[in-house]
Structure 1
């Protein structure tokens, strides 16, 4: 069979076989898989209207387009599948308990508290763990994810419950969804005086999407106007039917402020977990878990709050979480006390990572540091390629000219106090929609203070640095002032989103609309040796203005679209404008005029964007 040809370029011909490529793969990667010359693929894509270099990360659509031209079935492997293949290469598995059924032991349920802002989530957690985390909050929302274990009693037996504290604002959707993935049971907090609100529904959707059993805490029953029955009725619309109405969902009326029925709520969590879930894990295997939150500590370096899901994590273990790796140097519980072993469902702070893992990254124990580093490096390269493919603006031959003339692009560097916040802020900023004229690119993100390296990158890329709950380190401020780099500091996420949205809108090209000023009819034409033809006119409507744009209409047909009223006189005096009902003399930059022609004056005004 003859090899296909695109634009005269001979390409290798497939027979419909499947080629597996990672997201963000380059044409060189594709060429290597099919034993072809990368230059030929670049040339072929050029003739298909795409300009890509051989080593550039390209989107899934381009890979599939090229594959179909060459009779290859290109399968872009999802990050999850690619990660699974990577771990299999090192004889590792994630998400599975090893051993036989007898090796599994009961573990505490992991609980996430969700609900609308101001419905009392933080107060409830505060009451449960007898500590106050609300005083340090900015903007009235919980900015960090933490994890805590509490001891409660059920039928005379002492039982542990692990709480993941997820933030309660819609800007943190990504973090909340990840929190639900590590969760066994969700507590949905609804204020008895307020009822079901938009974020209540959003939180409920997250919990149901993660297939997590829900316990409803009807809070603020001590407040005037509280109506717990109304909450039960509202939630039946969302398939949450209370047990007293014949359903399966446990509703508990509480007051977090007065500490009313909080013990009953914890009992309801345990009863729901025991009834619907098989909460068992093997504590004797290598540890697996999830990083809930991570930040850069000035004294201890990268610190991650990790929830162990199976196995036991010990000091000295070689670990990898996302694209971060290291060795467990120290583990601390929620009270800051040293822990030597962390069993399933136990949250601990781990010190010993070489970089800051991302919120929601899976944690694995491996045999040696070398393997941990190899896995982390490959994940890092994959993430970089996928990001490059996602942020790459597709340039076709048709719009190349306009792209080269001017591209409106706002480059940002985000630095925050922990990885969860940085990720949430990035997600929120990339979600800002101001059309296709302006592009927002986040060229770097990280945890910790603003460094000189960040400033140098911002200077080279014309970027703005956003510091969220962090400040510039050492000489970084001085360097930023010298290089003219703008560093903006925020402690409330909504303010950052609003200001960046305003900046993007300010970069949009102005939209102009035509506004008619007036119409005038030519009644007589005079010849002048100095200025050429002078039109003697009667203004029929509106005004005629000197230097205004005009069009000439003859017999209802536009003779010339754009000319200019170059001079305007009223009787013998120069005039700036002449109004309806008056006569005037004017000259145009267009000379082919006749008696009876209509001159329509107009101007272009900037239209405010909505």
Structure 2
């Protein structure tokens, strides 16, 4: 019924009815639901002390405030429900195998390796794949996410197993949780010399919450002080009872470093799958699955590692992954070979998407390009509205403590850029979970894959945000703009350093003693081969000056390719020199590092002591 509201504005009053709205809805959306004039809702908000336009995306709290004033109950639709309703509008069912039992065929189990940091998860996968992954990781911690398929023989039969390589540090809690949800079996790695640790319990809880069977790999049995029996006793307290003790959990003693009993572990995974799970899928329907990882490749554009969960994905199919879509131009398996099709439980690298999707986004194959574009655009618009609804307020980590005490800001705004979507999402999730009390909120205004750009700096300027670059840098005019406008841009190569520094700043404990100062950048124009010195980069110094014996990093398309390099040789024509200034050409030798390409950028820097405030 109609009743006068505050200020004499006539509008319908509710009787506690529930109004369903999507994230980032506007007052106009609310007005349509209750058959009211949007202008009247604007007036109500003004009387409540909030200046909001009719078409502006507003926060959930604002919608709740308005609903309470008008005696309605607001229900904000979750992202999962939004997506399900969106796909229903296109007559698409996601997450179900089509047809009856006769269409379902056996598929390989999908396995996630979990456990405490440094207990040997990556080395185990290394032993299984017989490749070297650990050597290329910062701090020995898995920084990227991939998926791999291996074969093993069980009872004379060839069987396949798909492994999802989720990062191992505690920073990746959300990634590990999602990994458990997309997998059939979890391998819990426990070091025989350390025993059960905090992250072991955390990983165990994720696996239990997802309802997946667990196989325990007791690693490092070759290390001094190893006690596999103790590990079995400790895990009994958490409900994992070994088969030899009358339980139903398979324990396998292994040494990933020595390659001991790896076959026994793979056999245990297959036997557990056969005993506990009915792993079947319909390979004939349109493919559906999940994106494990995605990134922007300089030569190939947006690429995504996807895990097919049902159906068969073929080259030429039109697929939509999150808010990205495209026709599959090519597919590569985990060994880098081109393949034409991928069935259930097969991980593949897909080329041909319009942009980089998020890790964990669902993918599906549709009949027409137009349908894929419409689904992707609606998803993107929905996410954009949700982001617009977030309130924004510029501040650096050093002065955050004083600003908080002065009451000038109650939230820390962040912009996160990284080299892969999985790492960006994991970093965002970990930062949002920091427990820093009720005085301050962390808000991620934007996250993305690729170098820090001018638009990122512009957003940071308008919202007092701090930019975090994870394995990427600000390039060209973006770096100059950040310096000119005083935007705080932080660079990290190991993810927990970012988390520790942000947490320290929020708690007022950040007192850096040293800061990194960029000395100069040089663009590689030519490469000369020397039998004595290796590769020598012919460069043009773009900014500042390049000095001999200073530290350097190599950037390729804005991404950090190598850290902790040293300018070991510097030449102008045939003369050895100590420095080359901006605008001049010269030759640079990076010591034993030879992986350089034309258009790469060598950025030199030094650590300078910073006076404490």
TM range (shorter): 0.7 to 0.9
Give the stretch that moved more between structures: 108-117 or 12-21.
12-21
| Superposition deviation, residue 187 in structure 1 | 0.2
CA shift in 2, pair 1:453/1:259, >3 Å: same
Aligned residues of 1:412 and 1:464 also touching (Cα < 8 A): yes
| Superposition deviation, residue 409 in structure 1 | 4.9
Give the Cα separation in 2 of the matches to 1:243 and 1:503: 48
| Superposition deviation, residue 72 in structure 1 | 3.7
Aligned residues of 1:190 and 1:217 also touching (Cα < 8 A): yes
Aligned residues of 2:174 and 2:430 also touching (Cα < 8 A): no
- Superposed CA deviations along residues 417-459 of structure 1, whole A, max 9, x for unmatched, are 1001111111222233444544443322110112233233334
- Superposed CA deviations along residues 54-88 of structure 1, whole A, max 9, x for unmatched, are 33333445434533544444332221111111001
Give the Cα separation in 1 of the matches to 2:502 and 2:381: 29
Mapping of 1:358-377 within 5 angstroms? 358-377=358-377
| Superposition deviation, residue 487 in structure 1 | 2.8
Aligned residues of 1:438 and 1:507 also touching (Cα < 8 A): no
Q: Would you say how many aligned residue pairs link Structure 1 and Structure 2?
A: 500
**Equivalent residue number for residue 289 of structure 2:** 289
RMSD: 2.4
State yes or no: 1:5 paired with 2:5.
yes
**Equivalent residue number for residue 426 of structure 1:** 428
**Equivalent residue number for residue 569 of structure 2:** none
Aligned residues of 1:304 and 1:349 also touching (Cα < 8 A): yes
CA shift in 2, pair 1:230/1:433, >3 Å: closer
Structure 2 SS opposite 1:449: coil
Give the stretch that moved more between structures: 36-45 or 61-70.
61-70
**Equivalent residue number for residue 219 of structure 1:** 219
Give the Cα separation in 2 of the matches to 1:391 and 1:231: 48
CA shift in 2, pair 1:327/1:55, >3 Å: same
Mapping of 1:484-503 within 5 angstroms? 484-503=486-505
| Superposition deviation, residue 243 in structure 1 | 1.2
TM-score by length of 1: 0.77
| Superposition deviation, residue 331 in structure 1 | 0.7
Structure 1 SS opposite 2:112: strand
**Equivalent residue number for residue 43 of structure 1:** 43
Give the Cα separation in 2 of the matches to 1:499 and 1:130: 36
Aligned residues of 2:390 and 2:445 also touching (Cα < 8 A): no
CA shift in 2, pair 1:105/1:448, >3 Å: same
**Equivalent residue number for residue 442 of structure 1:** 444
Give the Cα separation in 1 of the matches to 2:470 and 2:181: 26
CA shift in 2, pair 1:183/1:285, >3 Å: same
Aligned residues of 1:290 and 1:363 also touching (Cα < 8 A): yes
Which consecutive residues of structure 1, in runs of 5 or more, have no partner in the other structure? 394-401, 509-610
State yes or no: 1:382 paired with 2:345.
no
**Equivalent residue number for residue 336 of structure 1:** 336
CA shift in 2, pair 1:153/1:492, >3 Å: same
Structure 2 SS opposite 1:224: coil
| Superposition deviation, residue 257 in structure 1 | 1.5
Aligned residues of 1:243 and 1:251 also touching (Cα < 8 A): yes
Aligned residues of 1:289 and 1:362 also touching (Cα < 8 A): yes
Structure 2 SS opposite 1:212: coil
Give the Cα separation in 1 of the matches to 2:150 and 2:106: 16
| Superposition deviation, residue 493 in structure 1 | 1.2
Give the Cα separation in 2 of the matches to 1:483 and 1:339: 49
TM-score by length of 2: 0.77
Aligned residues of 1:287 and 1:311 also touching (Cα < 8 A): yes
| Superposition deviation, residue 413 in structure 1 | 2.0
CA shift in 2, pair 1:72/1:408, >3 Å: closer
Structure 2 SS opposite 1:355: coil
- Superposed CA deviations along residues 260-295 of structure 1, whole A, max 9, x for unmatched, are 211111111011111111110111111001001111
Mapping of 1:68-83 within 5 angstroms? 68-83=68-83
| Superposition deviation, residue 498 in structure 1 | 2.4
| Superposition deviation, residue 362 in structure 1 | 0.3
Mapping of 1:580-599 within 5 angstroms? none
Give the stretch that moved more between structures: 195-204 or 452-461.
452-461
CA shift in 2, pair 1:139/1:4, >3 Å: farther
| Superposition deviation, residue 177 in structure 1 | 1.0
CA shift in 2, pair 1:193/1:310, >3 Å: same
Give the Cα separation in 1 of the matches to 2:406 and 2:250: 61
**Equivalent residue number for residue 515 of structure 2:** none
**Equivalent residue number for residue 455 of structure 1:** 457
Give the Cα separation in 2 of the matches to 1:245 and 1:47: 69
Give the Cα separation in 1 of the matches to 2:72 and 2:441: 33
| Superposition deviation, residue 460 in structure 1 | 4.1
